[in-house]
A and B are shown apart, each in its own frame.
Chain A
Amino acid sequence: MKERRLRIVLHIVLTAGFIGVLFLALWWANTHLGQFPLRVMRTGAVYIVAAVAYNLVNGITGQFSLGPNGFMALGGYTVALLMLPLPQKQFVWFLQPLMWPFNSFSFPWYLFGVALVLGGLVGALGAVLVGIPSFRLRGDYLAIATFGFGEIIFVLANNLIPLTNGPLGMKGIPEYASVYWCFGWAVVATLVVSNLAKSSYGRAMKAIRDDEIAAESMGVNVFRTKMLAFATSGFFGAVAGGLLVTLITTISPTLFTFNMTFNLLIIIVLGGLGSITGSVITAFGFAVLSELLRAVEAPINIGPIHLPGVAGMRMVVFSVLLILLMIFYRRGLFGQFELSWDWVLSRPGVIRSWVQAKPGATRGVRKWKRETKSS
């Protein structure tokens, strides 16, 4: 029991330390790096939030959803409507007036966090509304139903002009999504989803993934559990949408097409369905690689051969990557592996150096190590 408590404290200290180091690194990056790398980093963090949220439904609960673009759109529009300054609102809605109450107020900068949470709640509400009719469906049928949801949001965004300004969208959204906001939410989303995945609720979700009939026979309330996964996913998906629009400062329906879902699907499948570690790493990698691969879309001269630039060539590269991965690593880069402090500390070198650094702790650690192995 005492060893267990020691382990919990150790984990909290290590996690806090890790977050501290991360934010020190971000502070350094923020003051030393240029606009472009910072932007890529922020995009990467937003992808982490969206991918981790998506993985909770597709990977951990095993429900094949194709609707995360819909949740992101809900969050994106909510945050944009709340944060867009009033003069800018009058400027943007020149065809039709913006509907009440959004035409009468605008959140000041210090309420940005509140706007993100509200956006998240709208996303969670959307998830619940989709879930109620569609949880009777499984597999491909659920995929079609959630795909339909994404499309409905797209059509609404195009046509609810008094609310969304239709295809023209909004521009001039203040660029509030700093590295700290983006990575802060990435940390929160990752911690919450991995806590959940390890918890009793997460086990119920995985049980539904493995065998829904057995799960309900063992007392798992399938509907409620799926709903919790969906709502949590909708919340963080919407927060990611809100961060995205305050990062690129514009919003239009085309930002949240099925392409967004497709990108996220690539990320979670590449990373390993059900592996949060995989989602985090591939989400960030995806953002970086997307920028690096812009090179393949530029015109290339190889000696006498001239290749004209082809827009969209990046997606071809990603597709090839995905095909290769499906052939050689069908379970994704990380399978269902999770990086944890237990795992890190059980690497022989780490334990040894840690023990050498703190000779007094030797006995405790040995015993604790044995315990973690057996319990």
Chain B
Amino acid sequence: METRDKVVLTLDHITIKFGGLVAVNDFCLEVTKGELVGLIGPNGAGKTTVFNIVTGQYEPTSGRVTFEGKDITGWRPDLIAEAGIARTFQNVRLFTGMTVLDNVLVSQHLRLKSSFLSAAFNLPSYVVEESASRAKAMELLERVGLADLAKEQAGSLPYGQQRRLEIARALATNPRLLLLDEPAAGMNPEETTRLMNFIRRIRDEFDLTIFLIEHDMRLVMGICERIRVIDYGVSIAEGTPQEIQSNPKVIAAYLGEGED
């Protein structure tokens, strides 16, 4: 019973088909509170599809997704975000025409209590809530080290900062589970090291459970406590970084089978 309570996310026999293609097949996974779980696999293995199912972009053909005991299968993405799951994207998807601060503020919209009309007429109740929400957003930017850039256009930031802003924007929804889709993509080794420290830090500071997809093995092996390997939509291995590195199935999936 004790351990069951700690399970944050459960994927129960998830299968999704696009036409004739089975992108994810009978995928099961449990993520417990505070864990840092990695999902790896060759290109096209179905990793991002798993994320899209968790965050509601896709509805699985069969199987259930449970978050903190609630069945969230087929929920709309915004309701899933409201429930406490936030994500970043493989190709950075910032609101490029808006400022850094506004990007973070968008994520606080779901917690807004003021009505549409009080915003339209700029009533005192709205003004108070707006300034509280700005203060909160600035505090978050402060914590992730982007406060100096608050007034900059998000699209004009250097790539590494854009990645960081995307994580900050996800944090602003107040999530308990954070999904990171290839956070180190396109980063140099130095930036990756900084990112690893950053991910560990936010997990502790924001009391998060983190589930991430990554191709950069140094990052995955360096910070993940548990790694799941997926290939052609099928789960092929799970274990600690050491176990995964020596697993013959994983090596075969990445490098191809040896010719006997």
Chain A residues at the B interface, C-beta cutoff of 8 Å: 4, 8, 192, 195-196, 199-204, 206-207, 209-211, 213-222, 228, 232, 336, 373-375
Contact = CB atoms under 8 A, between A and B. Distances in A.
B77 interface: yes
B121 A203 contact: no
B32 interface: no
Interface of B: 55, 57, 76-78, 81-82, 86-87, 89, 93-98, 102, 105-110, 112, 114, 116, 119-122, 126-127, 130-131, 133-134, 138, 150-151, 169-170, 172-173
Contacts of B172: 218
B81 to A, nearest CB: 4
Given A213-B57, A219-B107, A207 B116 contact: no
B121 A195 contact: yes
9 contacts: A200-B109, A200-B114, A211-B95, A218-B78, A219-B78, A219-B109, A221-B110, A228-B116, A373-B151
B94 A214 contact: yes
A373 B151 CA distance: 8
Nearest to B89: A214
A209 B119 contact: no
A226 to B, nearest CB: 12
A206 B98 contact: yes
Given A4-B131, A199-B119, A214-B94, A221 B78 contact: yes
Nearest to A1: B131
Nearest to A221: B78
A204 B97 contact: no
Nearest to B108: A200
Contacts of B114: 200
A218 B55 CA distance: 10
A209 B133 contact: no
A284 to B, nearest CB: 23
B55 A220 contact: no
Contact of A218 (B76, B81, B112, B127): B81
Contact of A220 (B78, B102, B127, B151): B78
Nearest to B174: A219
Given A213-B57, A216-B77, A375-B138, A203 B102 contact: yes
7 tightest A-B contacts by CB?
A219-B110, A219-B81, A199-B119, A210-B95, A214-B93, A216-B77, A207-B106
